[in-house]
């Protein structure tokens, strides 16, 4: 009796039989066509081709982390923003991504630092490693694509920042980063509607800068001890900060070729890579010359380059290290604990105005684009305001 043999239909399961020994190619005359294919192997419309194309289109939509990486590249390459600006936007967007990763984007709170305030080393490392959405990041559990972001989500995020007692300026900067991110999504076609104009920014109150007296600044400049190994470098750094009013990032990027000690000028690159020339005083020039002659040659290494301020290992000093040194000497001199590198910049501007400098010259030395930014220092010098009141008020 002949046994019945059950035949397997390859077209019913999308199965192709293996090629015969001897190299018979797939889809040969001996193989029946797949379901959804004609006899020539081409797909029939409406069966497999259209769903597969839709699935491929869905897979090409970038995730939120990938969109942020593309946005940061756009800010660096095409927009030409400064490195510190890109890092600041990156930190703000990373916090926003953590908020979006929560289910329903609710109940998010950043973890407090261990032991209260964040250490200087941890703060420096977090600034330098603010890259977003790396390939090792876990997938988002809540919002996974840019097109899923809605105005209510951003409003809830701003409310969380307010509950965490963030300052108005920090909240406003976070909102600016999100707005630019949405405009980038509209520009690249990732979203259809840009609702960034519907988001209202918090009102930032204008605060007067913290300024120290001339005697306090003098005590700070004399804080470094001559017995310390890096006395000449730190002395030159403090004198240069007060003599020119440069920012921490600007003095960190200074090179010896940017200084002309014969005529007493330096050249620095400010925000937006704008170049300006600032004069220096005789005391600052003498401190820099002594540092260049007696200490810097001993710190130079093959990788040091032409940078002015070098660390003990020979590498260029970062703005975080400069900030740490200024805080160290401020505490030693008995200065307010909130004194920073930027406080010396405020002192430079206020003391110049008190000595009779005009606003236009001060604007050029500080590198301000708008003179309204420089005008705030006119409200700081109380003695100048008293003289104006005494001179022009009808009833002295």
Active site residues: 247, 271, 342, 345, 368, 377
Measured distance CA(207)–CA(168) in Å, rounded: 12
Contacts of 145 (CB under 8 A, 6+ apart): 61, 62, 63, 64, 67, 190
3-class state of residue 116 by DSSP: coil
3-class state of residue 307 by DSSP: strand
Measured distance CA(329)–CA(237) in Å, rounded: 12
Four-residue CA torsion sign, 165, 169, 174, 175: positive
Measured distance CA(141)–CA(323) in Å, rounded: 38
Best CA proximity match to 250, nearest among 164, 146, 367, 155: 367
Decide if 253 contacts 268 (C-beta within 8 A). yes
Measured distance CA(287)–CA(283) in Å, rounded: 6
Measured distance CA(360)–CA(374) in Å, rounded: 9
| Residue 76 structure tokens | 């660096």
Buried b (16+ CB within 10 A) or exposed e, 293-315: eebbeebeeeeeeebbbbbeebe
Strand partners, 276: 268
Best CA proximity match to 143, nearest among 68, 72, 56: 68
| Residue 41 structure tokens | 């192997």
Measured distance CA(270)–CA(250) in Å, rounded: 6
For residue 93, which phi and psi values (nearest 5 degrees)?
Answer: -70, -30
Distance between start and end Cα atoms, the chain: 131
The kind and range of the H/E element at 190 are none
Measured distance CA(321)–CA(325) in Å, rounded: 6
């Amino acid at each position: 009796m002949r046994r019945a043999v059950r035949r397997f239909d390859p077209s019913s399961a999308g199965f192709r039989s293996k090629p015969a020994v001897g190299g018979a190619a797939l889809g040969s005359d001996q193989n029946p066509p797949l379901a959804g294919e004609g006899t020539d192997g081409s797909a029939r419309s409406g069966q497999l081709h259209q769903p597969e194309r839709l699935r491929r289109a869905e897979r090409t939509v970038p995730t939120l982390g990938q969109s942020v990486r593309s946005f940061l590249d756009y800010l660096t390459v095409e927009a030409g923003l400064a490195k510190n600006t890109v890092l600041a936007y990156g930190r703000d967007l990373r916090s926003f991504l953590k908020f979006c990763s929560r289910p329903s984007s609710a109940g998010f709170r950043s973890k407090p630092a261990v032991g209260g305030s964040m250490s200087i080393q941890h703060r420096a490392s977090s600034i330098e490693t603010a890259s977003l959405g790396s390939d090792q990041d876990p997938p988002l559990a809540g919002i996974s694509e840019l097109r899923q972001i809605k105005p209510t989500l951003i409003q809830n995020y701003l409310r969380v920042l307010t509950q965490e007692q963030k300052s108005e300026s920090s909240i406003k900067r976070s909102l600016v980063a999100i707005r630019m991110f949405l405009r980038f999504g509209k520009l690249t076609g990732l979203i259809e509607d840009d609702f960034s104009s519907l988001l209202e920014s918090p009102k930032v109150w204008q605060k007067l800068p913290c300024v120290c007296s001339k005697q306090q600044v003098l005590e700070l400049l004399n804080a470094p001890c001559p017995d310390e190994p890096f006395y000449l470098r730190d002395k030159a750094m403090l004198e240069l900060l007060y003599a020119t009013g440069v920012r921490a990032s600007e003095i960190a990027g200074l090179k010896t070729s940017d200084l002309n000690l014969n005529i007493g000028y330096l050249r620095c690159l400010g925000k937006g890579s704008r170049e300006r020339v600032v004069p220096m005083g005789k005391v600052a020039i003498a401190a820099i010359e002594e540092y260049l002659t007696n200490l810097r040659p001993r710190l130079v290494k093959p990788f040091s380059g032409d940078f002015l301020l070098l660390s003990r290992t020979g590498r260029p000093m970062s703005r975080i290290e400069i900030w740490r040194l200024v805080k160290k000497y401020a505490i030693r001199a008995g200065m307010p604990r909130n004194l920073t590198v930027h406080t010396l910049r405020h002192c430079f501007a206020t003391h110049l105005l008190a000595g009779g400098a005009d606003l236009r010259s001060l604007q050029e030395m500080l590198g301000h684009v708008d003179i309204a930014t420089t005008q705030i220092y006119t409200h700081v010098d109380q003695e100048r305001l008293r003289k104006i009141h005494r001179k022009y008020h009808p009833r002295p």
